[in-house]
Amino acid sequence: MNYMSNRYLILEDGSVFQGKAFGAPVQEKFGEVVFNTGMTGYQETLSDPSYCDQFVVMTYPLIGNYGINRDDFETITPSISGLIVKQATEYPSNFRKEWSLNDYFKQKNIPGLSDIDTRRLVKTIRERGTMKGVMVDSIENLSEIESNLNDFTYRNDQVKRVSTVKPYVVPGKGERIVLVDFGMKHGILKEFTERHCHVTVVPYNTSSDEILQLKPDGVMLSNGPGNPKDVQEGIDLVKGLMGKVPVFGICLGHQLIALACGADTHKMKFGHRGGNHPVKDLRTKEVWMTSQNHGYAVTPESLGQTSLTITQTALNDGTIEGLEHEQYDMFSVQYHPEASPGPQDSNQLFDLFLSRINGGIIHA
Amino acid sequence: MPKRTDINKILVIGSGPIIIGQAAEFDYAGTQACQALKEEGYQVVLANSNPATIMTDETMADEIYMEPLTPEFLTKIIRKEQPDAILPTLGGQTGLNMAMELDRRGILEEYQVEILGTKLSAIEQAEDRDSFRSLMYELNEPVPESEIVQSIDEALDFANSIGYPVIIRPAYTMGGTGGGICETEQELIEIVRNGLDASPVNQCLIEKSIAGFKEIEYEVMRDGEDHAIVVCNMENIDPVGIHTGDSIVVAPSQTLSDREYQMLRNVSLRIIKALQIEGGCNVQLALDPYSFDYYVIEVNPRVSRSSALASKATGYPIARIAAKIAVGLTLDEMINPVTGSTYSHFEPALDYVVTKIPRWPFDKFHAANRKLGTQMKATGEVMGIGRTFEESLLKSVRSLEICTNDLYLPNVESISMETLMIRLKTADDERLFLIAEAFRRGFTLEDVHQYTEIDLFFCIN
C-alpha cells in the first residue's frame, strides 16, 4: 500500500490537520466538514447521498474493520467529498468483505484522510459549528489554499446532482407508491420492496400533475442533501400533492413539507448525525432510538400559523423530529426510520404509512 | 413516571465475599445502587457479609448488617427492620438466590416486603433453562439444540443423539461452576456428575457445542414504561467455548457490520421486553463468523460482571440507573449523570476502544489446571482504554502486573514448537503471549487463526 503519503485538512478557522492519505489522490477539494457518531455503518454513511459535498469525520476511531461489502450501499456512486478517520483498517475481516476502505475509495475516486486527531477536530466543530474545509496533498502554498477556501461558497444544486435523471419502476404486487428521489437512500426503497409495494422512483423535479397521473396510492418524499430552501421544485410539489394523496416525508422530505405549509427551517450548529438519537413521541410517550443525518431543522416558532402539529421531538435538545398535518393525510419525520445504518426502532412507520393508505389507522 | 412515594425503607442484598467466579464487580454495582437510593431519599438497609468492601462502609447505607447471607439471617433482619421493599438484582447471583429463597419460604409475604426491579417470575424464566428455552421458541429466537438432564444416563443418551462435542451447563450456578466442554463419553460422565452436584436443583443442560462462533454480548436496560436501550455491546476475542469471564473482551464490537450489529441489537431488545426486566440485563449471543446465523446463549436478568465492565467502559452508570428504575423512575426522565444535560435514554457512542483482560491467580496456585473452558477461572480483570485497539490492549497488559509491558513473557520464548501449537489450540491464561510468540516465529495470520479460531482482525493487530 502506498498510502503513507501526507494529506492535510484545512478549516476556515485556520486550523490545519496533518494526517495520512488513503483512497484517491486529491488536488484541492472543498466541502463542509461534519461529524458522525456511528460506531458501525460506515459503508452506509459514506454512500448516503445526503452527505453530498461534505467531508465526514467519524468519531469512532477504527473505521474499515469489516471492510466494504457488495450489499450495504445506499447509492451506486457515493457523493461524499471525503472521509476523515483516526485509523483506516488495512486488513479488514468479515465474511461479506469484498474490498478494503482504501481499495474501494481508489475505485470510486474518493479521497480519505487518516491518522489525525479526530477527537480534537470534532471538538472544534462542536464548539464552532460545521465549517468549510479543504483537503490537499501539499501545503506548500498554504496562503493560496486558504484564500481559495475563503472564496469557496457552498453549492446549492446538490439535489439536482444526486437525484435520478429518469423515472424507473421497481415492480411489486402491493400498493403503488411514488418515491420522489431528492437523494434517496436505497434503504427507503428497500422498505417498500420488502413490503411488496409497486414503486415508481421519480426525479426531484417531477411535477405534482405528472405524479398524480401515475395514480399512486401514496407518495414518499425521500431524504436528500443540502438546504431545503434550495429545492423550490420540492416545495411546489408538496403544495400540489397535499390533500390529494397520502404523503410521507423523511429528512429533506420532512423539511419540504414544513416549508410548503408555511413554516421555516434553519441551519443547526453541528447537526445530528449518528445512530444514537433518542426521539420521544409526544402522543404515545414512546421513545425510539433513531438514526439521524440532518444539518437543518424545522423552526418551532414558525409553526404557529400553519396546520402542522409537532408529533415527535428529540429527547435531548427538543429539535422537531416529527410533524403531522391537521387536515390532510400527510406526516413526516426528520430522522431515518429505514435506519441503514442505525437502530431500527422506528421501522414500523412504513407500516403505518401503508395502513393509512389502506384507510386503516389514522393516528400512530 | 415519578419515583414511588409509597415505600420508604429498602433492603439491599450485597454479594458477600469475593470468590472465584464472583468478583468485586458486584460490590461496585451494589455500592452505586445504595448511593442512588439514598440520593432519591430512601432509607437503605444493607445486608452484606463482606467487611472488606467499601459497600459496608458506614456512609453507604443507613443500617448495615454484616451478617452471613443466609435466608435465616436475612429473615431476622427483615423482622427487625421491617423494610417496605427489597432490591435483590444488584448483588450478583447471591442476592438473587436469597430473594428467591425468601420468597419461597413465604417470608416476603409474611412481612409484606415488595420485590423491586425485575419480578422474580421473570428472573426464573430467564434462569431456568427449560422456561427460557420455551420463551425463545415463542419469540422465534434460535437457541443451540439442548436438553435438560437430571442423570448421567439421560446426558449420555442426548449427547449420543446430537454428537460430540457438547457443552455442560449446570442450572443456577455462578461463573459456569461445574460445567465444561466434553469431547468424549468419559469426559461427559465426569463433568455431568460434578455439574449435577454443583447445581442446587440438580439439573444440567447438555448443549450442542457452537465453539468457534463469535461471542457477542449486549448490555440492555429497560424501565417500567417499556423503554429499552442498549448501553453497549462487547465482543469476546476468544470465540464461544471460553467463559466470557476468562476471555479478552473488547467494547464496542470490532468485526460486526451495521447489519449484524442491528440484528443482534433487535434480538437483545426483544428479549428484555419479553422478559419484562426492570433494570439491567445482559444478553449473550453467538454469531457465526461466516453467515448471519446466530444463537441466543444466555440471558442474565440482573446487573452482572459484564454490566460493571460496560458501565466502566462507557461511563453509563448501569447499577445506579437500574436502582432508580426499580423505584419507578423512567429512562426518559432521568438526567444522564455523565453529561448533566442529556437524558439517560441514550445509547453511548464511544470514540475509543476498551479492552478487558482477565487476571488469573495461577501465579499463586501453581498446581491449578490453567486450561480455560466454560468454567470461569479468573479472579479479577483489568481494563485499558485507547484510541486504537493496540493501545488499549497494551495498556491492559501493563496493568496486569505480571512483570511485562509488552506481549512478551520470558518463559514463552523457550517453549518447543510442538508445545506452542498445542497450547495455542487448547487456550490457557498465557494465550495472548503465545500468539505474539507465534508471530515472532513466523506463523502466518491464517495459521494463528486456524489454531485459535480468533478473528483475523484481532490477530492482525
Q: List chain A residues with CB under 8 Å of B270.
A: none
CATH code of B305's domain = 3.30.470.20
Entry pTM: 0.91
| Residue B364 within any structural domain of the chain | no
A94/B255 Cβ within 8 A: yes
B351 near A CB under 8 A = yes
Looking at the structure, tell me whether residues B198 and B246 fall in a common domain.
no
- Mutation target for B interface from A62, A121, A321: give the one with most B CBs within 10 A: A62
**Number of domains, chain B:** 4
Looking at the structure, tell me whether residues B176 and B248 fall in a common domain.
no
Q: List chain B residues with CB under 8 Å of A66.
A: 255-257, 457
Report the run of H or E that residue B46 belongs to, with start and end.
strand B43-47
Looking at the structure, tell me whether residues B152 and B253 fall in a common domain.
no
Tens-digit pLDDT profile for residues A191-205:
999 999 999 999 999
CATH code of B172's domain = 3.30.1490.20
| Residue B441 within any structural domain of the chain | yes
Query: Is B283 within 8 Å of B218 (Cβ atoms)?
Result: yes
Looking at the structure, tell me whether residues B245 and B200 fall in a common domain.
no
Residue B236 has pLDDT above 50, yes or no: yes
Range of B429's domain? 404-461
B225/A71 Cβ within 8 A: no
Looking at the structure, tell me whether residues B31 and B56 fall in a common domain.
yes
pLDDT at residue B59, as a whole number? 79
Looking at the structure, tell me whether residues B266 and B198 fall in a common domain.
no
Phi, psi of B292 (to 5 degrees): -90, 10
pLDDT above 70 covers a percentage of chain A that reads 98
Q: What is the mean pLDDT of residues A338-357?
A: 94
| Residue B121 within any structural domain of the chain | no
Least confident of A206-210, A229-233, B97-101: B97-101
B212 near A CB under 8 A = no
A336 an active-site residue? yes
C-alpha span between B291 and B140 (Å, rounded): 18
Looking at the structure, tell me whether residues B238 and B313 fall in a common domain.
yes
| Residue B134 within any structural domain of the chain | no
Strands B214-222 and A87-88: unpaired
Burial (CB count within 10 angstroms: exposed 0-12, middle 13-18, buried 19+), residue B288: middle
For the beta carbon of residue B128, count every other beta carbon within 10 angstroms.
Answer: 17
Burial (CB count within 10 angstroms: exposed 0-12, middle 13-18, buried 19+), residue B5: exposed
B460 near A CB under 8 A = yes
B346 near A CB under 8 A = yes
Q: List chain A residues with CB under 8 Å of B353.
A: 61-62
Looking at the structure, tell me whether residues B197 and B219 fall in a common domain.
no
Report the run of H or E that residue B284 belongs to, with start and end.
strand B279-287
Who wins on pLDDT, A315 or B199? A315
Looking at the structure, tell me whether residues B336 and B260 fall in a common domain.
yes
A196 an active-site residue? no
pLDDT above 70 covers a percentage of chain B that reads 97
Burial (CB count within 10 angstroms: exposed 0-12, middle 13-18, buried 19+), residue A177: buried
What distance, in Å, lies between the first and last C-alpha atoms of chain B? 47
| Residue B390 within any structural domain of the chain | no
| Residue B47 within any structural domain of the chain | yes
| Residue B127 within any structural domain of the chain | no
Q: Is the peptide bond before B68 cis (omega within 30 degrees of 0)?
A: no
pLDDT at residue B130, as a whole number? 82
Quote the cell numbers at residue A266. Answer: 434553519
Catalytic residue (one of A233, A251, A261, A272): A251
Q: List chain B residues with CB under 8 Å of A287.
A: 227, 331-332, 345
A61/B255 Cβ within 8 A: no
Q: What is the mean pLDDT of residues A293-305?
A: 95
* ipTM here: 0.92
Least confident of A25-34, A333-342, B111-120, B362-371: B362-371
B343/A65 Cβ within 8 A: no
C-alpha span between B338 and B315 (Å, rounded): 7
| Residue B79 within any structural domain of the chain | yes
Looking at the structure, tell me whether residues B249 and B344 fall in a common domain.
yes
Residue A336 per-residue DSSP state: B
A93/B255 Cβ within 8 A: yes
The whole-angstrom distance between B447's CA and the closest CA on chain A is: 15
Helices and strands (H and E) in chain A: how many? 10, 21
Please name the member of A43, A66, A344 whose beta carbon is closest to the beta carbon of B255.
A66
A338 an active-site residue? yes
Q: List chain B residues with CB under 8 Å of A292.
A: none
pLDDT at residue A113, as a whole number? 97
Looking at the structure, tell me whether residues B84 and B170 fall in a common domain.
no
For residue B120, which amino acid is it?
A: L
pLDDT at residue A364, as a whole number? 42
Tens-digit pLDDT profile for residues B278-293:
999 999 999 999 999 9
Cα dihedral A330, A334, A338, A339, rounded to 10, equals -170
B262/A343 Cβ within 8 A: yes
Q: What is the mean pLDDT of residues A22-42?
A: 96
If DSSP states are collapsed to H, E and C, what string results for A210-232? HHHHCCCCEEEECCCCCCHHHCH
Looking at the structure, tell me whether residues B235 and B187 fall in a common domain.
no
Residue A362 has pLDDT above 60, yes or no: no
Quote the cell numbers at residue A358. Answer: 389502506
Least confident of A96-100, A357-361, B446-450: A357-361
C-alpha span between A243 and A234 (Å, rounded): 16
Query: Is A326 within 8 Å of A307 (Cβ atoms)?
Result: yes
Classified as helix, coil or strand, A142 is helix
A286/B349 Cβ within 8 A: no
> Of the candidates B193, B208, B223, which is a domain's last residue?
B208
Residue A172 has pLDDT above 50, yes or no: yes
Q: What is the mean pLDDT of residues B306-310?
A: 88
B223 near A CB under 8 A = no
CATH code of B52's domain = 3.40.50.20
Query: Is B331 within 8 Å of B271 (Cβ atoms)?
Result: no
